Amino acid sequence: MHNIYLATIFAGALICLLASLLLFSRRKDGERSRTILSCIVFFSVFNYITRFINLINGEVPQLIVSVPMLVLAIFMVISYIMYPIEVISPGWLNFRRILKLYSPCLFILVTYKISLWANVEYKPYNTLFDMIPHVGNFDVLFRFMLAFLIFMPILFIFFIPYTRRYNNTDYVWMRKYVFTLSLNTLAYILVLTFEDPIVRTLYYYVSVGCSLYIAYMELFVRLIRKPVATETALKIEEEPTTPCTESFSKVKNTILIERLNAYMENTFAWRDPDLSLNTLAQALCTNRTTLNQVIQDNGYESYTAYIN
């Protein structure tokens, strides 16, 4: 069974490495979602390889219910939250918000260090079941709390600000992603609960399978917003009786909104806090009245709504 366990870890690392490289090679200009997902999957490769090398060298791996391992699990779940954030609300993530996202891990580590300085003894346990009789102790209660927190980041997906016009995905994809991530997390909780080599081996199959399914959805399933020009062109084709002057106006509006979207995606100008409607109109060689009208004609209440 030990050899099967080792082979499973190695195979999982190899499969995740290939998936990470494929995602990175298929990344798109102006989109960070595939780059973020490839980095997350590659981090799993690093974890698998490290554990594989330790087992090969005969080193005793750190207990799975130890505080560092539980913090690592929370870190990985939070990392898997970064990807749907970028998908649902492109560009919302910046350095400051990423720090806030990972701040619970930092707070937990600081609390752990303080408890060590206070001479709190973290007794070794193999599973959560082994800790139940000692749940009154701080070291046990603290680890139970961390095990509970592993599930909490998943709920954050439903509170991500959804960008209505930038339809990178839909709620069907979101539900599938939440289910897949929840399945992976549940499998990890079972590993924390049962000290069984079969359960630990099966966990790697589930974890790698979930990573592959997420990669598959990113590459082949997730919806990408149709270009505005295509949508407008279809509307024009569906209205053959439209007067020539109105059709000409629609074509001009289509060209301008297409230039606007291309300018935003190529320069990331929407990140500039000093960006104004006048500045944007000058960059596109038009006037603010025309630009504002085109923005409203394409489903936005105002220039501010478009930027947001």
Question: Could you give the percent of the chain with pLDDT greater than 90?
Answer: 34
Position 168 scores a pLDDT of 65
Q: SS in 3 state form for the chain?
A: CHHHHHHHHHHHHHHHHHHHHHHHHCCCCCCCHHHHHHHHHHHHHHHHHHHHHHHHCCCCCCCCCCHHHHHHHHHHHHHHHHHHHHHHCCCCCCHHHHHHHHHHHHHHHHHHHHHHHCCCCCCCCCCHHHHHHHCCCHHHHHHHHHHHHCCHHHHHHHHCCCCCCCCCCCHHHHHHHHHHHHHHHHHHHHHHHCCCHHHHHHHHHHHHHHHHHHHHHHHHHCCCCCCHHHHHHHHHHHCCCCCHHHHHHHHHHHHHHHHHHHHHHHHCHHHCCCCCHHHHHHHCCCCHHHHHHHHHHCCCCCHHHHHC
Q: What is the pTM of this model?
A: 0.68
| Lowest mean per-residue pLDDT among 105-109, 128-132, 237-241, 263-267 | 237-241
At 291, the pLDDT band (50, 70, 90 cuts) reads confident
Position 158 scores a pLDDT of 66
User: What is the radius of gyration, based on Cα positions, of the chain?
Assistant: 25
pLDDT digits (tens, 9 = 90+) for 128-176: 889 999 988 999 999 999 999 888 777 776 666 555 444 567 778 888 8
pLDDT digits (tens, 9 = 90+) for 188-242: 999 998 888 899 999 999 999 999 999 999 888 876 544 444 444 444 444 444 4
Q: Is the pLDDT of residue 46 over 60?
A: yes
* Residue 72 to residue 246: CA distance in whole angstroms: 59
